[in-house]
Amino acid sequence: MTESIHTKVLVIGGGPGGYVAAIRAGQLGLETTLVESDRVGGTCLIRGCIPSKAIIHVAEEFETMVHAGGKGRHGISLSAAPKVDFAETVRWKETVVDKLNNGVSALLKRAKVRVIPGWAKFSDSKTCVVGETTITAEHVILANGSLPVELPFLKFGGNVISSTEALSLDTLPKKLVVVGAGYIGLELGIAFRKLGSEVTVVEALDRILPLYDAALTAPVAKWLEKNGVVLHLGAKAKGLSKDGKSLSVETKDGKTVEFPADKILVTVGRKPNTEGWGLEKMAVDMDGRFVKVDDQCRTSMKNVWAVGDLVGEPMLEHKAATQGDMVAEIIAGHKRRFNPASIPAVCFTEPEIVSAGLLPNDEAAKGDGVITAMFPFSANGRALSMDASDGFVRILARKDDHRILGIQAVGAHVSELSAEFSLALEMGALLEDIAGTIHVHPTLSEAFHETALRALGHAIHI
């Protein structure tokens, strides 16, 4: 039986951009309908950020236990080597995902958001069909997210997997080949190496993590080498071998080599989810492969909005959620625009990398008008007490007024510093503001304080 629904706000996609928009719209008293073809939570919660961090956590635990074997470490030893039941690890990971998924569902229900499961297909900018239900809306918020990029000569299927399948394997691959040395490939490659897989990374560029400068990536490269991850830079994946059990690779010197692999993990990026749901019927302008929006996330079509991965880089959960919240408030009559001082990014490698604001290689950071200062974790008491002294905190600031322009860090657990970095930039902090703020001892955050002091010419502990 067909059904027709008219709603004030229609949200397409239950990821962080979509469900946050829907919840906020519901809180503001707007009649809101959300359509999601999978479980609410989106890629980040169901297939990406959360499950990958759960696997990374288990990998860290296992690595610690491995180090306690034999002669032991820090006075701790094990009488037998630890073992991994990866199927059980994946089952535990799913309990974390389920808990968060249920939480999002409950929040949507509390906000009185109507959730319709299924795939939305648009016939015009304000009308879509989901199964036998036709939905028309005054406002449409597109939050369709993104998908893994598939290489034409390495189609997903069988032993060729994306990050989604990598997080749901029944057993650990003995030999894992990772295509792509960006943050997804290295995060997962490092986790699988800690769990005992033999890992080879193939990257077409001549460096890992190309979004970051060499100083930030050097500690990660050091860990890869120390822990036996085979890295081939300037190498191009060509396809599967004839028997399908190896990856053919053209190395930097032009030779073709085959790398045996139980699984080949392809992580060469993500693309906006623009196909199969009727975007072409909506008559919105595009910006390359992304939906074009202004600083309020308005598309070229009146009362059609787009947020998150659909509208461009960076493809990050916290950007999508912020945009979703903003759009809901604008529809409700609030004055908002998306103009953050920075969108911080974290790479959960070993060690972790955080970046907010300008990097030294950015054009605006070059020249004599910028101060750059670093403070090493080797001079930080908390880092030393964790046996994690690799890495540093770095600040870029204007020389004339000491306004902070960019902050980066690489080291153990530095992801937890990302909020302080982002807040400092958003508040327009000066070096003197950070130097004059008491930081708790002993914490990693003291390195941020010391970096500001060093930029001012009077660091205490170096």
Q: Which of 292, 316, 200 is nearest to 249 (CA)?
A: 200
**pLDDT at residue 69 in the model:** 84
* Number of C-beta neighbours around residue 341 at 10 A: 17
Provide the pairing of β-strand 392-398 with 230-233: unpaired
Residues of the chain whose pLDDT is less than 70? 1
pLDDT at 124: 95
Give the whole-angstrom CA distance, residue 181 versus residue 184: 8
Beta-bridge mates of residue 163 = none
Residues annotated as part of the active site = 441
Q: For the chain, list the domains and their CATH numbers.
A: 3-146+272-331 (3.50.50.60), 160-268 (3.50.50.60), 345-455 (3.30.390.30)
Q: State pLDDT tens for residues 346-401.
A: 999 999 999 999 999 999 888 889 999 999 999 999 999 999 999 999 999 999 99
pLDDT computed for residue 1 by the predictor: 55
For residue 303, the model assigns a pLDDT of 98
Q: What is the pLDDT of residue 366?
A: 87
Give the whole-angstrom CA distance, residue 185 versus residue 268: 8
- The predicted pLDDT at position 71 comes to 82
Residue 359: count of CB within 10 angstroms of its CB: 19
Helix, coil or strand: residue 23 = helix
Between 16-27 and 86-110, two packed helices, what is the crossing angle to 10 degrees?
Answer: 30
pLDDT at residue 429, as a whole number: 98
Helices 214-226/183-194 angle, 10° precision: 30
Residues 6+ apart with CB under 8 A from 182: 209, 210, 211, 267, 268, 269
Question: Residue 2: its pLDDT value, please?
Answer: 79
Distance in angstroms (rounded) separating the CA atoms of residues 115 and 108: 8
Residues 178, 187 contacting (CB under 8 angstroms):
no
From CA 14, how far away is CA 2, in angstroms rounded?
23
Per residue in 135-170, pLDDT tens?
999 999 999 999 999 999 999 999 999 999 999 999
Enter the pTM of the model.
0.94
